[in-house]
Amino acid sequence: MSDTASGPGWGECVTTEVKDGIAWITLNRPDKRNAINPGIVREMTAVLNAMEGDPDAEVLVITGAGDSFSAGQDLKEYFRETETWPPHERERLFADNAAWQWRRLMHYRKPTIAMVNGWCFGGAFQVLVGCDLAIAAEDATFGLSEINWGIIPAGIVTKSVSMVIPQRDAMYYIMTGETFTGIQAAEMRLVNKAVPQEQLRAEVTKLAETLKKKNPHVLRAAKSAYHHVRQMGWEQSLEYLMAKADSTTFRDRDRGAEKGMSQFIDEKKYKPGLGAYDRDA
C-alpha cells in the first residue's frame, strides 16, 4: 500500500507514505526548514492517531522534506502570531505540541525511527529523542542555538538532551550554541549511527525491516519497560519487570515466548542471539 495522507487535519504540512510495512512521515515545510508551526502540530497529532490504528504501518519513520529534518519551533507562527489567541487556545497548542513531540512518541505503541537528513535545531531535539532510534546523515547539522538569541533550550529540550548526551558534550553545545555534524552526533550517542547521505534511506529501511520481524506486542512492552525502569531504583525495577514480563506473556496473542522456546530448544530452527523466531510458524 502506498498513499499520501490527506483529509481533515493534515496533508499540507505533513505527508505520509505507507509501503511494505513502513510509514514514512515527512514534515513538509522545506522552504521553512520544516520549522514546527501550528499546522505541523495539528497534522502530526492526526497522523500519529491514524498510523496507530493502521495495520499496514508496522514501523514509523519521521523525517523532513528537502535539506532539513526540522529547524525547531517556527518563532513567528508558533510564538509571535499566537500571542493574540485566546489563552485557552494557545495553551492547547502548547499542550498538543508537547504531546506529539515527547509524551506520545516516547510511549508510542509502534517502533519509531528518526531519519535526520539535514538541519536539526532546538525543538526538533524533542522529536529526535522522542523517537526510539535515530540514524543521521553524516553531513546533517545539529544545533542548540537558543543561547545565541537570548533564551535557554526550553520546552523539554534540555531534559531530552540530558537523557542521551554526556554532560560535557551537552553543556558545551548548550552554552556555546555551536553546531555539530551527524558524525559527532553519533559519537556522543545522540543518534545510533551516521551514514553518508546517499545511504540514509537504505540504512533506515534496513533497521525498520529488523524491527518488523519482532513480536510487536513484546516490542511495545520492552520499550515501555525501559522508559519506566530508568526512573526507578533497583528493587522497584525488579518487581516491576517481573510483573511486566508475566503480563506481556499472558496478553501476547502471538504466543511468542512459547513459539520462541519451542523453535530454539525442540526444533532447533534458530539462534536467539542471531535473529528472531518465526512468527508465522
**Residue 244: Cβ-neighbour burial (10 angstroms; 0-12, 13-18, 19+):** middle
pLDDT confidence tier of residue 9, bands split at 50, 70 and 90: very low
Could you read off the pLDDT of 100-120 as tens digits, one per residue?
988 889 999 999 999 999 999
Q: Hey, what CATH class is 14-212 in?
A: alpha beta
Tell me: pLDDT of 149 over 50. Answer: yes
Tell me: pLDDT of 11 over 50. Answer: yes
CA dist 20 to 57, 70, 96, 212, Å? 8, 26, 30, 10
All three cell numbers of 180, joined, read: 555539530
Q: Amino acid letter at 24?
A: W
What is the rounded distance in angstroms from the CA atom of residue 26 to the CA atom of residue 44? 10
Cβ proximity of 33 and 69 under 8 Å: no
Could you read off the pLDDT of 157-187 as tens digits, one per residue?
999 999 999 999 999 999 999 999 999 999 9
Q: Which residues contact 37 (CB under 8 A, 6 or more apart)?
A: 13, 29, 74, 77, 78
Q: What is the mean pLDDT of residues 79-87?
A: 83
Q: Give me the long-range contacts of 260-264 (CB less than 8 A, separation at least 24).
A: none
Could you read off the pLDDT of 55-71 as tens digits, one per residue?
999 999 999 999 999 99
Length reported for the chain: 281
What is the rounded distance in angstroms from the CA atom of residue 37 to the CA atom of residue 96? 12
